[in-house]
Amino acid sequence: MPQTDFDIAICGAGPVGSALALLLARHAPSPHRIALIARPSPPSKASKALDPRALALNYGSIQLLKSVAAWPGAAASISTVHVSQKGRLGRTLISATELGVDRLGGVVGYDTLLKTLGSALQASGVCLLSTALPQGDASLQADPLLTSEGLITCRAKVLSDGAKPVGIQRDYNQHALVATLRSSRPRTGWAYERFTSDGPFALLPHPSASDLYALVWCNPPEKTATLEALNNADFEAKLLQTFGSRLGRLKLAGDRFVFPLSMYAGPSLPARHTVAIGNAAQTLHPVAGQGLNLGLRDAAQLSQALRPWLAMPQSDVGSILELYANKRRLDRCLTASVTDVLPRIFATSNPLVQHTCGLGLLAMDVLEIARLPLARHLLQGTRT
């Protein structure tokens, strides 16, 4: 007879939910009492061979994934981040050397990371389930939970992706165009974040080859639609106009994909004995690549908070989840604030604000005291 009662049910088997399951399984006396419930893929994604997104993971996230044997071998390292503003004075460099680490982070394909996590989960003892179609998000938030194996109950529920409860929401009026580019003069280990008056333009080392870069180009929806429709030659001319020739000629090496951008910040404790982490707790603008890193810190701290409870799951979990939510508040607020303010303050046509932003980048480059606090937060977040 299939198991129907669990200590913990993690609703959402994306990178954050999968990482949490692996972290909990390391210390759980009975890993099979942890349920990881996957949502069905939407038809649009299921029809694609691969998810086009390349994920930037910071140093702290890499160490976490290594600790559960889930860091992919196929990854590109980031040793230096170059930050600039189009058309204005000022730029800053953040390097691994000044922070005393071997790299600032790494870049992996979304599907590659999920496959590596999936392999680790198969050996973890965690019970892997899926939602019952066609309920989707509703079946992850019901009590008891409706899965492909039938109704199940749990003592603690973790929402890690899917539908979001009421919270603070912002539409950035920007879409991100994602593509893979080939550079004629690649620079090993360098990532670039360039701010424009329309939105940030980022290039990340690509895990597939040393001369490839992952592009994330944020613009208003109408401009993104125009860029998506351009032929390759005209699109590459726009790349040169926006980024310059520091990497030589940039040519398309695949299709272009578009994702709408918005911010969401919701409650960590949306219901009794229920905690939200990752995308269920917050969705961030992709500037500086902090969304998944913040979610993995959620998973790391929640696993630490729940570790003693795993040995006595009959005890009440409510006070443990409240303590977790209080400890996560500072990191969540700081990271959400940085990623919310940066794209909006740089995306302005006000010359005074543009010059001020340029001087800020220059000051960060010259003054270590101005650069290092932000660099350390991007490296591993705020730990409590």
Q: Which CATH class is domain 76-106+168-261+344-380?
A: alpha beta
Q: Which residue has the tokens 């604000």?
A: 353
**Domain 5-53+110-167+263-342 in CATH 3.40.630.10:** no
Q: What is the pLDDT of residue 93?
A: 86
Per the CB < 8 A criterion, the answer to whether 67 and 304 are in contact is no
Q: What is the pLDDT of residue 368?
A: 63
Instruction: Measure Cα distances from 325 to 13, 298, 305, 312 in Å.
Output: 21, 9, 10, 21
Residue boundaries of the structural domains of the chain: 5-53+110-167+263-342, 76-106+168-261+344-380
Q: What is the pLDDT of residue 280?
A: 94
Q: What is the pLDDT of residue 347?
A: 63
Q: What is the pLDDT of residue 228?
A: 98
In sequence order, the 6+-apart residues with CB closer than 8 A to the CB of 67 are 23
In sequence order, the 6+-apart residues with CB closer than 8 A to the CB of 57 are 65, 105, 106, 107, 108, 292, 293, 296
Q: What is the pLDDT of residue 313?
A: 87
Query: At 54, is the secondary structure helix, strand, or coil?
Result: strand
Q: What is the pLDDT of residue 148?
A: 77
Q: What is the pLDDT of residue 337?
A: 87
Return mean pLDDT, the chain: 87
Query: At 279, is the secondary structure helix, strand, or coil?
Result: helix
Which of the residues in the chain have pLDDT under 70? 1, 41-49, 87-90, 132-142, 163-165, 346-371, 374, 377-378, 382-384
pLDDT tens-digit series, residues 267-307: 999 999 999 999 999 999 998 889 999 999 999 999 999 99
Gyration radius of the chain's alpha carbons: 21
Q: What is the pLDDT of residue 384?
A: 57
